[in-house]
Structure 1
């Protein structure tokens, strides 16, 4: 056969049918020789592709390098993030390294350290898989991480979510600021606006106003949201104009920001509407808060951010009332309700079952206006059973109100709550406490866990709090926990196997606290 001249298609057909059914092509070895010859011809005949444009060199990152021990620890944490779950759902006594990664990143960023270049791809993969890691990861990755993300479509989340702070120009360099604002990526522009606002609030607002009309609606929303930090009366004219924005979400955010400025014209308008609905009734045996909810949501209310249509399950009038009250300055109410303090106002009975709606709106107002006095009043006494006494019974509302208080006051309130009620309802409240937990709070948590263990409680019911304790307890508490690592005797009525589970959980807790202490030492070394 003439193998060197057989076409590629003929050779493929012969290979598929077999040389016994295609005798014209010759023996099998001749077929292979012909295929090899054709393969060389086909490859030699290819036109070389045009070389791509080489990317620009990665930017410099002037931050200090990680200490070697910390670099090894980071590699270990990243390698463990995809480790398989423990059999049977039990976590064992070894620390969960993946759950320590956010804390490691937080400490590294506090120290202003630079990410190792060889670990940047793994870091970005971790942040792609876990959205909770992204803010800390992208700060740590710095300008080189952002540069690398541009080269891989799988990391495009970084281009809209990176802080980019390490690559920002000096906020006082107006020419460089203007250039980046006009040409930068969205993430860079968000970070730039925040930096300029912190340096010169008026300049930051002017930067945004100059391009406001040409920005996309979703970008306008995020830019507007960045004005929360440093919000001041000087922002009111810009926000008032944003009330007429073509995007409903932008209008709602502008109204919310204006209502957080108690002296704004919108806040005064909302106060006037709200006080027409809420008054003090003295005709009975004692003072009573009377409520007459709005009967309509007119165009002026809608322009000021009141959404006319309630969510499913909510009545229109209660929906409108809540929006008016939450947007009115809180100093409206002592004047309206007989000169009483916030605590006295919250303790007043409310007519016609409007109390929950009114208190929930005051909770939202206290959070929005960051009013500590009203937050304390609405929290009530931590020792009071939920639902009894003045204040809100909602754990979600309590968690938000606690975030307004100073760190030490917040921790003390939650510690007293746990001492009075145990841990069954404390998980949400613990989540707003600053890490590591203050001494009194940490002791209250450990005491409550020990009580639950000694009572023979289902240990699985406390797995969430135990996991939180691993991340949030002060590592200095580990010596105190040593006594709890032994398996306790199982009393009557205890859950089968509970003692072993509790011992395992406390062993893991102690090991995790020691590892956290080592991590901090490595990063600070």
Structure 2
């Protein structure tokens, strides 16, 4: 509605502003308005005139209908569970740092969304606003929440500025054309939002890598640098030698980040020309020295970073605290095919190469570069050798002692081997350094890994320490242990007797923590059942 002017509706003997002023100051100070009774009569008259002066505004255009979502509906029990999880997402922290024995529903929301998406179920329309609010507040659930919200969630986000993130970050995969519909694909590529174009390129790449590369080439020269970088990153999926010509051209890109990404992708192709150039450079820096009683690896780091090296992705300026020559050496070695080294170092096996001593304290730099190469080239043989034996004390024997490097190397191994390695590491060293390694293990944890974690927690409890030192691992166990383990854990929910030297009250805290663990596992099992149509 809009308000007409006073002239349109008749100003009367006194304007509205005069009446308001007289009411605020008093009729004694504004006698021209009259006594109080006349003021009220005049105000009532003006109020009626003002209301009568409202004229209808032009109606806004009706929003288009929400697009269809053909996915099956949630079972009733799962819908009620989702409402509870969303309602609990912003619950306040527990007083005094104690979490109690009840499951943390907010921590289970990402897992619930992942399960619902795996089953291809549709989000209830009535819960879409709350779901989008949760995605707005929590970036950790956003991808799963937007996938679950589907096309109707994207449509609804267009009606509320607070949800505009869904238009940028939502893949909108349900709205993407068939990758084989070339006309529709080209139209969306030319006119779509950036997030839609990223999702489209990924979908076409999964269906036909050559078609995706050709699609990218149509607009590559006119894309912004930050967009070229993200589009180029999509070539990681299904990377092959067919991508080499495109990536070689990208080595001349005006953006340094684009050039570096192109070089990284080419170095992941051992047969590429760039990998060959890097192999030659790296081999000239690393050799086998047999002059002593035992063979050692000798290292002569580069003395300059020339233009050709920079074109191939070597960054000339090191980070603060790094020397130039070691910085250049690391980049050359990590970009060289790992097959270079058995030939260069006397035909030795990978394990024997990793075990060789390295002269002049270059060992850490060389091994770290090999770790990066093993991860980039997804080479399990090198990953095993660089991981070393799980029972060996960190820093002793062959392999890397860095937990960050070990976590990345573990991601190269097959899931069962990865879980077995971490289980044996925990059995030998406990949980104090295991958190980062557990993070790369597949959920739910394999039986042996779950047993190793629980056994280590039980040992910590029996030692009388407080459970807060293991809160991160306990939280992982709540989300990652197989729910079938709940029955085996019942015996740990009782309060243990306090031994000599135990921290006061620690037994009660441990009992509470294990009660919460068991309750969470049982709830996860129930969630699985509820999400099964």
Deviates more, 1:403-412 or 1:246-255: 246-255
* Distance (whole Å) between structure 1 residues aligned to residue 358 and residue 395 of structure 2: 15
The corresponding residue for 1:341 is: 349
Q: 1:401 aligns with which of 409, 416, 430?
A: 409
Shift of 1:424: 0.5
In structure 2, the CA distance between the partners of 1:404 and 1:10, relative to structure 1 (3 Å rule), is same
CA deviation map 1:363-408 (0-9, x unaligned):
1111111111111111000000111111110101100110111111
Q: Which has the larger displacement, 337-346 or 154-163?
A: 154-163
Residue of structure 2 aligned with 1:517, choices 516, 525, 529: 525
Match of 2:25 in 1: 17
Q: Which secondary structure does the structure 2 equivalent of 1:132 belong to? A: coil
Written as runs of structure 1 = structure 2, the 5 A alignment for 1:314-353 is 314-353=322-361
After TM superposition, list the pairs within 5 Å mapping 1:173-192 onto structure 2.
173-192=181-200
Q: Does 1:85 align with 2:104?
A: no
Residues 25 and 31 of structure 1 are in contact (CA less than 8 Å); yes or no, is this contact kept in structure 2? Answer: yes
Contact 1:3 1:30 in 2 (8 A): no
Change (3 A) 1:339 1:79: same
Q: Which segment is superposed worse, 17-26 or 490-499?
A: 17-26
Structure 2, unaligned runs of 5 or more: 1-9
Match of 1:482 among 474, 486, 490: 490
Alignment-derived partner of residue 277 in structure 2: 269
Q: 2:152 aligned with 1:123, yes or no? A: no
Distance in 2 separating the partners of 1:40 and 1:417:
82
Shift in alpha-carbon separation, 1:283–1:30, aligned structure 2, 3 A: farther
- Displacement of 1:430 in angstroms is 0.3
Give the counterpart of 1:444 among 436, 452, 470: 452
Q: 1:213, CA displacement in angstroms? A: 1.2
Pairwise CA RMSD: 1.5
- Report Cα offsets for 1:404-454 as digits up to 9, x if no partner: 111110000000000000000000000000000000000000000000000
Alignment partner of 1:131: what SS? coil
Equivalent residue, structure 1, for 2:5: none
User: Kindly tell me: are residues 35 and 174 of structure 1, through their superposed partners in 2, closer, same or farther at Cα, counting changes over 3 Å?
Assistant: same
Give the drift of 1:47.
Answer: 5.4
Match of 1:379 in 2: 387
Corresponding residue pairs, total: 524
Correspondence 1:494 to 2:502: yes
Unaligned runs of 5+ in 1: none
What residue in structure 2 maps to residue 471 of structure 1? 479
* TM-score after normalising by structure 2: 0.96
Residue of 461, 464, 470 corresponding to 2:469: 461
Contact 1:347–1:390 under 8 Å retained in 2: yes
Tell me which residue corresponds to 2:235. 227
In 2, Cα distance between equivalents of 1:123 and 1:299: 52
Contact between 2:419 and 2:449, CA under 8 Å: does it hold in 1?
yes
Following superposition, the deviation at residue 160 of structure 1 comes to: 2.2
Distance 1:217 1:46, change over 3 A: farther
C-alpha deviation, 1:247, in angstroms: 1.4
Instruction: Tell me which residue corresponds to 2:7.
Output: none
> Residues 32, 91 of structure 1: CA spacing in aligned structure 2 closer, same or farther, 3 A cutoff?
farther
Question: CA offsets per residue over residues 196-247 of structure 1, 9 Å max, x none?
Answer: 1111110010011101111121111111111100001000111111111121
Measure, in 2, the Cα distance between the counterparts of 1:111 and 1:482: 31
Offset of residue 31 of structure 1: 3.2
**Structure-2 change in CA distance of 1:22 and 1:275 (3 Å):** same
Change in CA separation of 1:28 and 1:248 when aligned onto 2, cut-off 3 Å: farther
Residue 506 to residue 30, structure 1, CA distance change in 2 (3 Å): farther
C-alpha distance in structure 1 between counterparts of 2:330 and 2:84, whole Å:
50
TM-score normalised by length of structure 1: 0.97
How far is the alpha carbon of 1:494 from its aligned partner?
Answer: 1.2
The residue matched to 1:524 in structure 2 has which SS?
coil
Report which stretch shifted further, 41-50 or 300-309. Answer: 41-50
Deviates more, 1:18-27 or 1:425-434: 18-27
Aligned residue number for residue 292 of structure 2: 284
TM alignment of 1:361-440, pairs within 5 A: 361-440=369-448
